[in-house]
Amino acid sequence: MGDGNNLVGVDIGSSSIKVCQIKETRKGRSLHKLAYAPLPPQTIVDGHIMNAGAVTETLSRMFADNQIKQRNVAISVSGQSVIIRKITVPMMTPAELDEQIQWEAEQHIPFDIKDVQIDYEVLKRQPERGQMDLLLVAAKRDEINDYAQFVREARLKPLIVDIDAFTVQNLFEATRGFPPDQTVALINLGASLSSLNIITGGISAFTRDIASGGNVITEEIQRQTGVSFDQAESYKCGGSGGDAGAFGSSGMVPQQVHDVIESVCDTIAAEIQRSLDFFMATSGESEIHRIHVTGGTANLTPLRNAIQRRAKTNVDFFNPVEKLTLDGPGVPEPLVRERAAQLAVAVGLSLRKEKEKRA
């Protein structure tokens, strides 16, 4: 605290944009502004913004309608344009590392090094071995520039570009903290993407984005029952949008839909399990003690159950706003209630401060 104002967290997800501003006082953190707006399908495909106009207009409108005055924002990127690796390098000074990092990155990053923005964090120094562990992050410059540019076109100033998985990790740390002697998995289950971050003793040990999320469930319901995307979404969400009329005169979700949900959730869980298995096989860790899930698709009980069944590890729902008080009119209570799970990245970004800007 005391190091400048909080930035506004802007999460441009493939299904919707989430905007969040928090206030920090001595008494704690409160949610000061919150806005949510769906994006038309195909606005963002495979992490690329295909329809810049829709993103820029939606963002401008969200800030105007909700009277958000702070224009300095933090955004994040994820998916195929981001590579995160834990690497080991010889012990060196920060100055030497700054000089060496491009070369080190080249050995580990499958992109042309000229096209990526490199960042790193020292995870652990092991002087006795003359080595240190780094977390190396490479994000495609084009992708970052695109996102930043569209945000600027909405007359906002992106001061920080973060990565979804780390944003959720920061929020979890600020909310609950990590047990020092345990390994936990944090999974953000979104619409088109699910990001997995395995954390040992509070330090990220493995991250992976899985190109699967709520959309594959909706699309499979569509395919098997012949309904529209919107109808399939309503079925999937069990009418949680209050749109009971969508279920026809019976007001029931057909059994076939339940079966499709069960089966696709199991497929997603299997994919997550493959990543957990890979981590276990390569990390030397013997156990994942707990799995915390968040993101819109974490609302689906069948998915949480499927992950728990396959991983044989307790799955817990992480509510991104569980420790925040609500500040009043800028924060619609029904929105918080219905969309809480979708807010992890936006709330995580809103923890960032103006003064720490590096970009």
Ligand X SMILES: Nc1ncnc2c1ncn2[C@@H]1O[C@H](COP(=O)(O)OP(=O)(O)OP(=O)(O)O)[C@@H](O)[C@H]1O
For residue 299, give the DSSP letter.
G
Shortest spacing between CB 237 and ligand X, in angstroms: 4
Q: Where are the beta strands (DSSP E) in 39-156?
A: 44-45, 48-49, 72-77, 82-90, 116-126, 131-140
The one of Mg ion, ligand X, none whose footprint includes residue 313, by CB under 5 to 8 A per kind, is none
Question: Minimal CA–CA distance to 19: which of 8, 28, 4?
Answer: 8
C-beta separation of 291 from 312 below 8 A = no
296 binds, among Mg ion, ligand X, none (CB under 5 to 8 A by kind): ligand X
> At 330, is the secondary structure helix, strand, or coil?
coil
Give the separation between CA 59 and CA 206, rounded to whole angstroms: 32
Closer to ligand X by Cβ: residue 158 or 190:
190
Q: Residue 45: beta bridge partners?
A: 48
Closest distance to Mg ion from the beta carbon of 287 (Å): 28
Total site size for ligand X, rule CB under 6 A: 21
Q: Which of 242, 349, 252, 240 is nearest to 301 (CA)?
A: 240
Instruction: Between 236 and 353, name the residue whose CB sits nearer to ligand X.
Output: 236
In whole angstroms, the minimum distance from the beta carbon of 13 to Mg ion comes to: 4
- CA–CA separation, 75 vs 144, rounded Å? 10
CB nearer to ligand X: pick between 35 and 132:
35
Give yes or no for residue 296 binding ligand X (CB under 6 A). Answer: yes
Tokens of 340: 């809480």
Binding to ligand X (CB under 6 A): which residues in 232-261? Answer: 233, 236-237, 240
Residues 178-237 that bind ligand X (CB under 6 A): 190-193, 213-215, 233, 236-237
Task: Give the nearest distance from C-beta 22 to ligand X in angstroms.
Answer: 18
Q: How far apart are CA 174 and CA 329, in angstroms?
A: 25
Write out the binding residues for ligand X, residues 297-336 only, by CB under 6 A: 297, 299-300
76 binds, among ligand X, Mg ion, none (CB under 5 to 8 A by kind): none
- 299, interface contact from ligand X, Mg ion, none, CB < 5-8 Å by kind: ligand X
- The distance of closest approach from Cβ of residue 114 to ligand X in the complex, given in angstroms and rounded to an integer, is 27
Nearest approach in angstroms of CB 191 to ligand X is 4
Question: HEC states along 308-329?
Answer: HHHHCCCEEECCCCCCCEECCC
Q: Which of 9, 47, 158, 190 binds Mg ion (CB under 5 A)?
A: 190
CB of 188 to Mg ion, least distance (A): 6
Cβ neighbours, 10 Å, residue 181:
9
The set of residues, in sequence order, having a beta carbon less than 8 Å from that of 328 and lying 6+ positions away, is: none
**Closest distance to ligand X from the beta carbon of 89 (Å):** 32
Residues 220 and 217: their CA atoms lie apart, in Å, by 5
9 binds, among Mg ion, ligand X, none (CB under 5 to 8 A by kind): none
Q: Which is nearer to Mg ion, 47 or 190 (CB)?
A: 190
**Residue among 266, 322, 337 at smallest CA distance from 292:** 322
Nearer to ligand X, 76 or 204 (CB): 76
Token pair of 256, please? 């076939």
Is residue 285 within 8 Å of residue 306, measured between CB atoms? Answer: no
**Per-position x/- string for 7-46, each x denoting binding to ligand X as judged by CB under 6 A, each - no binding:** ------xxxx------------------------------
The entry of ligand X, Mg ion, none near residue 145 (CB within 5 to 8 angstroms by kind) is none
Query: How many degrees, rounded to 5, is the angle at CA 52 between CA 165 and CA 5?
Result: 50
CA atoms within 13 A on the CB side of 246: 19
Report, in Å, the least distance between residue 102 CB and ligand X.
30
- Residues near Mg ion, by CB under 5 A: 13, 190
- Residues near ligand X, by CB under 6 A: 13-16, 190-193, 213-215, 233, 236-237, 240, 295-297, 299-300, 342
